[in-house]
């Protein structure tokens, strides 16, 4: 959350508190001036909240926009599946949204630039041809079922920056070996993050 947004939220909070105080005084002792001030303050809070909501949603990248900032590189686009299909996610994208690439059979390898900090729930679920994933070195969050049912996934390296991994993140990835830079499981990871009891190599280095 950026500083400008925090300032706007703080201002709305202050105005809301002021409006509540005015309302309490009006209840105790009705006064035309206080009623007018309360009305103005209430309208101000409502308008600021609406404008903040509109602005936040206008600035939030849509799934369509994020897809435009990713690219699949393939040696042969005429084939349904090709061994060289590579998904590169870059251009200042910070989050891969929930179910964004779910059931995408055209992806064999994924490379994430280091600006990505979050992978949403089921983001790559059922990507059946996916074999290798290179995560962002600044990644912090891997969501619920993020890579579940990627039956051909063989390699993933999890950097020590990852603070949270949701349940069933690699469920039914039967071929997968997980390489973790951390020496042991961080406290923030869910207990069932490795629900399929896959091989985990702690203290690993990136290949």
Res 204: pLDDT: 95
Q: Answer yes or no: is pLDDT of 70 > 60.
A: no
Res 58: pLDDT: 52
More confident residue, 36 or 178: 178
Among residues 134, 190, 142, 187, which one has the least CA distance to residue 162? 142
Q: Answer yes or no: is pLDDT of 66 > 50.
A: no
Res 143: pLDDT: 96
Where residue 4 falls among pLDDT bands split at 50, 70, 90? low
User: Helix 3-28 vs helix 32-59: angle between axes, to the nearest 10 degrees?
Assistant: 160
Res 125: pLDDT: 95
Percent of the chain with pLDDT over 90: 53
Res 76: pLDDT: 41
Quick: pLDDT tens for 164-178: 999 999 999 999 999
Quick: pLDDT tens for 75-94: 444 333 444 589 988 767 89
User: How far, in Å, CA of 129 to CA of 121, rounded?
Assistant: 19
Q: Answer yes or no: is pLDDT of 2 > 90.
A: no
Where residue 122 falls among pLDDT bands split at 50, 70, 90? very high
In this prediction, residues 147-162 reach a mean pLDDT of 97
Q: Answer yes or no: is pLDDT of 133 > 60.
A: yes
Res 168: pLDDT: 96
Where residue 118 falls among pLDDT bands split at 50, 70, 90? very high
User: How far, in Å, CA of 118 to CA of 136, rounded?
Assistant: 9
Among residues 122, 129, 69, which one has the least CA distance to residue 104? 129
Average pLDDT, the chain: 82
More confident residue, 194 or 61: 194
Phi/psi of residue 102, nearest 5 degrees:
-55, 130
Could you tell me if 147 and 122 are in contact, meaning their C-beta atoms sit under 8 angstroms apart? no
Where residue 20 falls among pLDDT bands split at 50, 70, 90? confident
Q: Answer yes or no: is pLDDT of 205 > 70.
A: yes
């Amino acid at each position: 959350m950026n500083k400008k947004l925090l300032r706007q939220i703080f201002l709305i909070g202050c105005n809301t508190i002021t409006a509540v105080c005015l309302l309490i005084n009006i209840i105790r002792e009705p006064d035309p001036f206080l009623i007018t001030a309360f009305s103005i303050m209430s309208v101000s809070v409502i308008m600021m909240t609406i404008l903040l909501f509109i602005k936040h949603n206008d600035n939030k990248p849509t799934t369509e926009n994020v897809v435009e900032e990713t690219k699949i590189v393939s040696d042969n686009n005429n084939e349904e599946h090709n061994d060289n299909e590579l998904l590169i996610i870059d251009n200042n994208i910070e989050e891969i949204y929930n179910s964004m690439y779910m059931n995408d059979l055209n992806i064999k390898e994924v490379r994430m630039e280091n600006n990505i900090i979050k992978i949403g729930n089921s983001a790559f679920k059922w990507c059946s041809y996916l074999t290798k994933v290179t995560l962002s070195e600044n990644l912090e969050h891997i969501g619920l079922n993020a890579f579940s049912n990627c039956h051909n996934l063989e390699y993933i390296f999890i950097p020590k920056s990852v603070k949270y991994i949701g349940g069933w993140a690699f469920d039914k990835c039967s071929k997968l070996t997980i390489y973790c830079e951390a020496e042991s499981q961080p406290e923030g990871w869910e207990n069932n993050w490795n629900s399929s009891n896959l091989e985990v190599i702690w203290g690993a280095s990136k290949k």
